[in-house]
Amino acid sequence: MAGTDYRCPHCGAELRGDMRKGGSRPGGTPGCPYDGLAYSALRAGHDAIYFGPWRRIDAPPTEIRRGYHRIGRHLDAIGAELAGRDLPAAARDLDAALAALRAADPREERRDTLRFMDNALSYAHRAIDDLLHEKGLPPHQPMDFSEWYDVVEVPFRDEW
């Protein structure tokens, strides 16, 4: 983004303006796009991965490994949020995400690695939605935040 002065320390979004005043979006709206949202760190983490370079059709192996590790850290953050809570649906979704991530190990040459990584991220999204549902809030919509990311298209959407 042209004119970027800094990145939001909370979500990593590129912001303009005075950091002490919260910056502004290109259209002049103040602050980080996730400010004030429930589970903003989980939403921002999901979207940074969802719109990440590993999902490009021509992604190099280093980006795929980086995406794999980011998904793992994201699942750890969701697990920390779920710790001590009685949310069976969210726990099931997190378990499914972890199983998909284990199946996706990019160190092995497998043609299904990207599909399993995408599945892990989808289950992570469902776990976030389960947390939001518990609070009576609508589900997270990553495309509502796409303008904050360098996105031309989201591959895999119709592939599997």
Tell me the domain boundaries of the chain.
1-36, 40-141
- Residue 15 banded pLDDT, cuts 50, 70, 90: low
Residue 101 pLDDT > 90: yes
pLDDT of 145? 82
DSSP assignment of 29-60: -BS-TTTT-TTHHHHHHHHHHHTSGGGSTT--
Closest CA to 76 of 141, 113, 124: 124
Least confident segment among 18-27, 89-98, 133-142, 150-159: 18-27
Q: Quote the pTM value.
A: 0.79
What is the pLDDT at residue 11? 62
Count CA within 13 A, CB hemisphere, residue 134.
Answer: 17
